[in-house]
Chain A
Amino acid sequence: MSNYFYVSPEQLIKDRAEFAQKGIARGRSIVAAIYDNGVVLVAENPSASLNKISEVYDRIAFAGVGKYNEFDRLREAGIRWADSTGYTYSREDVDARALANYYAQHLGDMFTEGQKPLEVEILVAQLGNKLRPTKLYRVAYEGTISDEPRFAVLGGDAETIKDRFALSEDSLQSLTVTLQNASRALSGPDRVIPAEELEVGILEDRGNRRTFLRLSDEQVKELLS
């Protein structure tokens, strides 16, 4: 016979939150920001193939921090959801808010009912047009969803990076300036992150249906110089 000990709900939630936070803090952070012509997502990522930033739909991008296998599964689910919604209805009907809500519900369920909470934090970015506004939705490990007005920081070091980025930003800037600020905010004053270790994706209208573009190392280097 095994013994069951009583654990108060407060303690359980606290333990689970601590567990998830610890997992997320191990990874590096991501900054997403709105610039004068679109949205830029910047991740510190030494790997050139294990991506943290991804295209989801014509005007929607995804970013995730924490455990790779966990946020990558969410990324795939997001692409499937978006493609099948657009297939069933119309491409116009695919909305980032709906996707962010599904993510929030799933993360919330896993936090309270799962074997363990997911050690991830994700961002759903939407480039606006005449139908919808430009949006950054941040979804935390326990399912809290927040609508970030100008920029969002994900990851363990979020508060510090947020302060550094907020200081350097007062109105909507160009892509170059925004990327430089994001890079400086991610690195802090004591180091410089080489362009090869920055993963950068943008959502920008370039006359194509698909607005997502992954910037190459050369493009990032040029924008940072």
Chain B
Amino acid sequence: MGLPLFSAHGDPGPSFWHYADTVGLAPLAAVLHDEAPHATTVIAVRYDQGVVMVGDRQATGNYIASRDVRKIEPADRYTALAISGSAARGMELLKIAQLSFEHYEKMTDSALSLEGKANYLSPIIQRNNLSSPLLVLPLLAGWDESHLVGRIFEYDGAGGCYERFDFATIGSGSPFAEGALRLGFRSDLDREAALELGALALYEAGDNDPSTGGPDFVRNIFPMMITVSAEGFQEIAGPEVGGRFRLINERRTESRGVAGGSLR
């Protein structure tokens, strides 16, 4: 490939996706016909100083394809992107998002706004989901540097982008996680409370949804927990996450599997 120069009227601007489309790199467009591993639970919860995200680690096809997948990745310093649906397409979407946000920043010497990043993904998801049976549904959460709040954006299958002001979930375990979140969410959660609620909601999803991997005490593999705040994207260390899930598990053992009441 030579030097990609364009005349002023044909210039694709700072959008990597439009550029890739112009020159025929065209990511996320071809149709494949085999079923890739999918099924997931990822949760985002807003708290007073940012957002918490919790995601399971299991990739499921007809059997468990992998137990230690990372479904939440930093798209840039202040943005977390989680994926559900086709693993291949999800990874591709992650790559495109990371590359596009950095590309825009280098081309214009200024970062995209958080809302700009959320909207940018809409037509990419739309194009993929309407042209391919390998659906992908992401969840974007981040720290809005211009308004100094944590914000969450979810998408529907056709690429519609919706802001959520409390919490959001994606993946097959969503109904169970959503139930726990609806009971536990308050608008004044602090970081600690949000992490606790997020872990509990994921535990519920892992408990009820066969395609969501809960905490794996045998292999010491635990769901991913991250926060995005003014300090940027931060992943909670393995031992701390393990401790949180061990605590929930002990309470649940004590209550003999009953989820409600004081042992919740």
| Pairwise interchain contact B1-A81, C-beta atoms closer than 8 A | yes
> Is A84 in contact with B3, judged by CB distance below 8 angstroms?
no
Find out whether the CB atom of B23 lies under 8 angstroms from the CB atom of A56.
no
Contact B2 A102 (CB under 8 A): yes
Q: Are A79 and B5 in contact (CB under 8 A)?
A: no
For residue A84, which residues in chain B have a CB less than 8 angstroms away from its CB? Answer: 1, 4, 16, 19-20, 23, 25
Chain A residues touching B, majority SS: helix
Q: 1/0 per residue A83-98: CB within 8 Å of B?
A: 1111110000000000
Chain A, residues 13-45, CB within 8 Å of chain B (1/0): the string is: 000000000000000000000000000000000
The residues in B between 5 and 57 inclusive whose CB is less than 8 angstroms from any CB of A are 5, 16, 19-20, 23, 25, 27
What's the minimum C-beta distance from A192 to chain B, rounded to whole angstroms? 27
Q: Which residues of chain A are within 8 angstroms of B107 by Cβ–Cβ distance?
A: 76, 79
Asked if A164 is at the interface (CB within 8 A of a chain B CB), the reply is: no
| B3 touching A102, Cβ below 8 Å | yes
Residues of chain B lying within 8 A (CB to CB) of residue A214: 109
Contacts of B99 in A (CB 8 A): 83, 86-87
Known: A51-B109, A54-B109. A106 touches B3 (CB 8 A): yes
Name B106's contact: one of A56, A74, A106 (CB within 8 Å). A56
- A sample of 6 more A-B contacts (CB under 8 A), given A77-B4, A80-B4, A85-B1, is A74-B5, A86-B99, A88-B1, A102-B2, A105-B2, A106-B5
B164 at the interface (CB under 8 A from A): no
Digitize A44-64: 1 where CB-to-B-CB distance is under 8 Å, 0 elsewhere.
Answer: 000001010011100000000
**B264: interface (CB < 8 Å):** no
Asked, given contacts A54-B106, A88-B25, whether A83 binds B1 with beta carbons under 8 Å apart, the answer is: no
Q: A119 to B225, alpha carbons, bound, how many Å?
A: 53
Question: Considering the chains assembled together, what is the distance between the CA atoms of A77 and B6 in angstroms?
Answer: 8
We find that the number of chain A residues with CB closer than 8 angstroms to chain B is 25
- Contact across chains for B25 and A77 when beta carbons are under 8 A apart: no
Q: Which residues of A contact B102 (CB under 8 A)?
A: 83, 210
Interchain CA distance A77-B4 in the complex, whole Å:
5
**8 A-B residue contacts at CB 8 Å?**
A78-B3, A79-B107, A81-B4, A85-B1, A86-B99, A87-B95, A88-B25, A103-B3
- Residue A206 interfacial (CB < 8 Å): no
Query: Which one of B3, B27, B95 contacts A77 once the chains associate, using CB atoms below 8 Å?
Result: B3
Q: Is the CB of B25 within 8 A of A83?
A: no
Q: With A and B bound together, what is the CA distance between A54 and B106 in angstroms? A: 7
| B244 close to A (CB within 8 Å) | no
Query: A73 contacts the other chain (Cβ, under 8 Å)?
Result: yes
Decide yes or no: A83 and B3 within 8 Å by CB, A51-B109, A54-B109, A88-B25 being known contacts. Answer: no
CA separation between A85 and B19, bound complex, in Å? 13
Q: CB-CB contacts of B226-237 with A at 8 A, as 1s and 0s?
A: 000000000000
Q: How far in angstroms is the closest Cβ of chain A from B11?
A: 8
